[in-house]
Amino acid sequence: MPELPIIERARSHGDRIAFRTMSESRTYPQLLNRSGAIASALLVDVEDLQEARAALLVTPGFEYSAAQWAIWRAGGIVVPICLSATESEWEYALTDSQASLVVADAINAAKIASLCEKLGLRLVSIDSVTAETPRSLPEIDPNRRAMILYTSGTTSKPKGVVTTHAMIQSQIESLVQAWEWNADDRIPMFLPLHHIHGIINITGCALWSGAVIEPFSRFDTTTILGRVRDDAYTLFMAVPTIYVKLIQALETASDEDRNAIQACFRKLRLMVSGSAALPASVHQRWAELTSQELLERYGMTEIGMALSNLYRGERRPGAVGAPLPGVEVRLKAENGSVVTVEDEPGEIQVRGPGVFQAYWNRPEATAETFEDGWFRTGDMAVLERGYYRIMGRLSVDIIKSGGYKLSALEIEAGLLEHPLIAECAVIGLPDETWGEAVTAVCVVRNGVPLDITTLREWCKGRMSVYKIPQRLLVVNELPRNAMGKVTKTAVRELFQ
């Protein structure tokens, strides 16, 4: 019986190591066995999950991938959820995706148990799954739906992006080809595993290629620099904020430490930046410090990766390169015509086998976002000497902070629950470390004083940390246009 391509690939990797931590190594055969055992546990009373949604709440590492593969091999749709989200954010993802089961490791199972009970969901704690002879697993058509990822957009609540196995495969194969992934690669994995940067670009490509992943539960500068100094990696992928933090660390290190770490960075075969704009100054500073020309690429949850600077060729600071293998890109000008010349800006539209199928249960939003079969990204770009350069987004309500895409509207809705906040407008202001800093402009009831520290404290537990405003401006009234509508352009001008 044919198996999912990722599983067939894993069988071809022999006894190679898939995951390595400071204390243990786990091989591809172990990953196959473990995912088979967990899949069997998921199929306790059915033969096929038949696209049931299974939320995944597991710390990054061997067990995460084993559980992800288990859900796929059992016929389910995996819904990775954010480990650090609040309970109401979890509840939203579980109910919106109509999940029927939650797959978690013991530590996270304990955190989500009461919510599962409240929602009547089956909770499978994988720590209690023992190695058993796997039962026979269903045959999975590659066009079956495989994953739902929640992404923020121009609506207040995040939407579920649905991809099939074939789409995921196409996203992975495109990157494996372009960046020449191979079985000798070794990569650190410190990004969250509920977004494609971690799921596809790092974990998916590494396991497809037979490479070694070194997982971390979070990014820690000292730990990662220590491992770079051990010559642990051949590849490195991160968001711009992480490169900013690494630059700060190198600049403040002792000469001896800096020289040793710089020498090791120089040996890596490729370092990639993406998920948010990499300032040309960061590209240049990183090159001065490490002799590494960062390869910047552009992607989106709905499409995987679309544009990339060349692995063998020019890596232009401030540009995101050319279409990746299998991806078609066009620019659509404001007047509705397709841009056919360089230097004329337009909205990036993307077509190809990696583009998502639909927003979960939102046919209207799905229809709106496609134009003649092309996905409308909402990002503006211009083509210059063969490479695209991102100019910004069409919507002011989307903020990118630390590589996370945030909806200003969702944060505003959260802030309006504060008893003192009568009105608010949230914007992203340029920030050297985070790319954009979430900034709230609020009208406070009865003029009661409100400061950023008190507001941040109140937000904790109510929204994920990266959504919590970093800056606060209290005003008597929000700027409005002639129609009485708050204008974000005028809100921005308050900071100039």
| Under rule CB under 6 A, residue 319 binds ligand AMP | no
DSSP conformation class of 26? E
Residue 6 host element (H or E): helix 5-11
| Under rule CB under 6 A, residue 300 binds ligand AMP | yes
What's CA 387's distance to the chain center, in Å? 24
- Residue 19 phi, psi (nearest 5): -125, 140
CA-to-CA distance for 314 and 428, rounded, in angstroms? Answer: 31
Binding to ligand AMP (CB under 6 A) within 338-377 occurs at 377
Nearest distance from residue 198's CB to ligand MCA, in Å? 6
Structure tokens at 223: 């730990």
| Under rule CB under 6 A, residue 379 binds ligand AMP | yes
| Under rule CB under 6 A, residue 469 binds ligand AMP | no
Within 8 A by CB and 6+ apart from 446, the residues are none
Query: 37: closest CA among 165, 142, 137, 147?
Result: 137
Nearest distance from residue 199's CB to ligand MCA, in Å? 9
C-alpha dist (Å) from residue 246 to 145, 233, 253, 432: 38, 16, 10, 13
| Under rule CB under 6 A, residue 405 binds ligand AMP | yes
CA-to-CA distance for 126 and 147, rounded, in angstroms? Answer: 19
CA-to-CA distance for 241 and 178, rounded, in angstroms? Answer: 24
| Under rule CB under 6 A, residue 397 binds ligand AMP | no
Q: Using the rule CB under 6 A, give the single segment among 17-25, 114-122, 229-237, 295-303 that binds ligand AMP.
A: 295-303
| Under rule CB under 6 A, residue 301 binds ligand AMP | yes
Nearest distance from residue 84's CB to ligand MCA, in Å? 7
User: 111, 86 in Cβ contact below 8 A?
Assistant: no
Nearest distance from residue 236's CB to ligand AMP, in Å? 16
Pick between residue 148 and residue 390 the one whose CB is nearest to ligand AMP.
390
CA-to-CA distance for 249 and 266, rounded, in angstroms? Answer: 16
Among 36, 215, 299, 402, binds ligand AMP (CB under 6 A): 299
- Partner whose footprint covers residue 379, from ligand AMP, ligand MCA, none (CB < 5 to 8 Å by kind): ligand AMP
- Partner whose footprint covers residue 125, from ligand MCA, ligand AMP, none (CB < 5 to 8 Å by kind): none
Using CB under 6 A as the binding criterion, the count of chain residues that bind ligand AMP stands at 18
DSSP conformation class of 302? T
Binding-site ranges for ligand MCA (CB under 6 A): 191-192, 195-198, 218-219, 239, 241-242, 274-275, 299-301, 401-405, 434, 465-466, 470
Among 35, 68, 108, 151, binds ligand AMP (CB under 6 A): 151
- With 0-12 / 13-18 / 19 or more C-beta atoms within 10 angstroms meaning exposed / middle / buried, residue 401 is buried
Q: Using the rule CB under 6 A, give the single segment among 61-69, 299-307, 438-446, 474-482 that binds ligand AMP.
A: 299-307
The alpha-carbon radius of gyration of the chain (Å, integer) is 23
Report the amino acid identity of residue 481.
Answer: N
- Partner whose footprint covers residue 208, from ligand MCA, ligand AMP, none (CB < 5 to 8 Å by kind): none
- Partner whose footprint covers residue 350, from ligand AMP, ligand MCA, none (CB < 5 to 8 Å by kind): none
| Under rule CB under 6 A, residue 410 binds ligand AMP | no
| Under rule CB under 6 A, residue 277 binds ligand AMP | yes
C-alpha dist (Å) from residue 419 to 194, 427, 448: 32, 21, 11
Pick between residue 123 and residue 199 the one whose CB is nearest to ligand MCA.
199
Q: Determine how many CB atoms are found less than 10 A away from the CB of residue 392.
A: 11
Nearest distance from residue 247's CB to ligand AMP, in Å? 18
Pick between residue 5 and residue 317 the one whose CB is nearest to ligand AMP.
317
For β-strands 77-80 and 53-57, DSSP reports them as parallel
Structure tokens at 493: 């001008």
Nearest distance from residue 234's CB to ligand MCA, in Å? 20
| Under rule CB under 6 A, residue 298 binds ligand AMP | yes
Nearest distance from residue 217's CB to ligand AMP, in Å? 21
Pick between residue 72 and residue 150 the one whose CB is nearest to ligand AMP.
150
Q: Determine how many CB atoms are found less than 10 A away from the CB of residue 129.
A: 20
Q: CA triplet 458, 459, 460: central angle to 5 degrees?
A: 95
Q: At what angle do helices 106-119 and 87-96 cross, to 10 degrees?
A: 60
Place of tokens 């200003």: 408
Nearest distance from residue 466's CB to ligand MCA, in Å? 4
Question: What is the contact surface with ligand AMP in residues (CB under 6 A)?
Answer: 151, 195, 274-277, 296, 298-301, 320, 377, 379, 390, 393, 400, 405
